[in-house]
Structure 1
Amino acid sequence: MDIKVSHLKPYERRFAILPAVESIGYLPRKTTLINQSFRSCNFSFILSGHGEYRLGTVSYAVEAPCVLLQWPDEPMYYGPESSWEELYLIYPRQTQELLRNSKTFYPETAPVRHIPMLSAVREAIDRLAQRLNETPIDPDAVDLACWEMVMASYATPASRPAENPRIDQIERRLQNNLAGHVDYHALAASLGMSLATLRRRWADYHPGMSFSRYRESCFLQESCRRLIESDDLIKEIAAAMGFSDQYYFSRRFRRLARMTPSEYRRRYRVAH
C-alpha cells in the first residue's frame, strides 16, 4: 500500500461540501502505545492485529478489522498487543459538529466499531492511494476518497452487491437529465417497481446519497470538466448539458461551486 504520511491542511479547497482532512497516515506494523489527549477528530482504521482501547476506567477490546474514534481533549490510551496495521485520518477540531451530524462520529457511545467488509475498505484505501499519488494533489478529491473510506467501513455483503443492471440504468438516466425535472414515479414504473422499492434499492448502492444529490454531483463533475477541458463558451456548455437558459445553468453552478463558471475557468484552467 503506497501511502505515506500526507499533510493536507495547507491545501485550499474549492468546495465546502465534505470535511477537509488534515493528515493521513499508514502504519503497516504499528507497535507504539498511545497515551495522550488529541486536539483533533480522528478515525483509526485497524486493518489487522489486536490490542486495547482504554477510556477512563472503561477498556475496549480491539480486534481487526475495526475503526477507533478519537476526539478532542479526552485522555486516551490505546495500542496493539504486539503490532497492528493502521490507517488514520485526522480532521481538525472545528469539523466535530459536521462529523457528528453525519452520524459517523459518536465516539462517546461507540469508540470502537467493527468493520463488516474489510475488502470494501481496502478497495477504498487503494483509491485514496491513487489520489495521493497524483501530481498535483487535488485536495477535494482526497477529501472525497477519505469519505468513501468512512462509508466503506459500513458496507455489508447485502448492501454492496457486485452488479445490478437496474442501478446502472438509473444512474445513466439521471446522468443524462441534469437540467430538467425527473419524474421518479415514472422512472420506477419503467423499471417495473414502486417508488419506495426504487429508493430502497438505490440506498443499497448509494448509502446517504439522494437522487437529487447524485444529480448535483454529476452536474458539478461534468460542468467542471467541460469548463477546464474545452474552449466552449459557457452558453455552449449549458446547451450541451441540456440547459436552455444559460443564466439558470450559471446560477446552479455558482450555488454548488461557490463561484461562477467564468471564475472557475480562470482559476483552474491550465494554459495549453
Structure 2
Amino acid sequence: MALICPFVRFSLRVPIAVDNRFGPRFCYVPSLYFIESGSAKVVYDDGSYVQLKTGALYFLQPGIRHKWVINEGDPFAFRCVFFEWSYRPKPQARVSIDLLCLRPEDYDDGLLDEPLEMGIPEQLMVDSFPFWKGLFESVTTDVKVLDEEDYPGLLAVNGHFLVLLHHVFQLARRQSEPKDPRIAKLLALMEQKSGGEYGDVEHWAEKLGLSRSYFHTLFRAQTGLTPARYWNQCRIKKAQNDLLETNDSVTKIAERFGFSSLYVFTRLFHQMVGVTPTDYRQQSRLNL
C-alpha cells in the first residue's frame, strides 16, 4: 500500500431541490458527506440504497455509480469533501466537475483512484451537529481544485482535513465498540426520561457503583460526550419532536423538559440545532 497522506481536491456545500436531478454519476476519488439538512437516499445501480438524514456522515468509495433521491417536503443540503488518500497528479482535473463522471462516454480510467478500505463505515451519525458542521466548513475550498503548487491553500485546507478525518475515525471507533452494559443501561434511561434538569453527578455515579471521576471518564469514552451534554442532547431531540408534532408554545415545551427558563432553552437549542426553536418550527412547517 502506498504511503497514506490524505489530500483534499475540493469541498463545497450542495443544496438540492426535490425536483432536481442529481445523478446517476460516480466520483473518481473518495468523498465524504455531512448531511446538513433534510433527508434523502443514495441509490446504487443494483437497486440497493442507504437512507440519510440530518446529522449523518456518508462515505463513498470512488467508482461507485449512484444517484441522490431527495425526500419530498424536506429542504436538503449536504457538505462534501472530495479527496485522495495519497496525492496523485491529475493535470486534466482543473475544475470540480472533472473529478466526477456523469456520462459513460466521458469515462477516463486515468482519473479513477483505487478504492482503499480504511475503516470508515458507509454511514455514521454525528454526536454534535454544530461541531461537525464547523469541521466541514473549515475544509471549504470554494470549489477550487487544489494542486501541489498551491502550497498555502493546500497547507491550510489539508491541515483542517486531517483534524476532520481524526474525528471521523474516533467516531467510528466509538460507535463500533460494544457499550459497557452499565453505560448502555443509563443511556436507555436518559433517552426514555429526557425531562428535568441534569441530576447530580454523584447520584448518577452512585447508581452505577462508580466514582465520580471514573464515571465521567467511562461515559465520555463510550459516547464522546460528557453526561450533562448527552442529557441535554436527549432533551433537545425530544423538544424538536414536540415543536413539529404539537401546537404547544415554545415556553411550555421548555418547561416540559425541565429548562430553567425560555432563554436557557433557546440558547441551548440554537447551539445544538443551528436555529432558534421558533425558527425551527416555522421552517419545518413552511416545507410541508
TM-score, length basis structure 1: 0.47
TM-score, length basis structure 2: 0.45
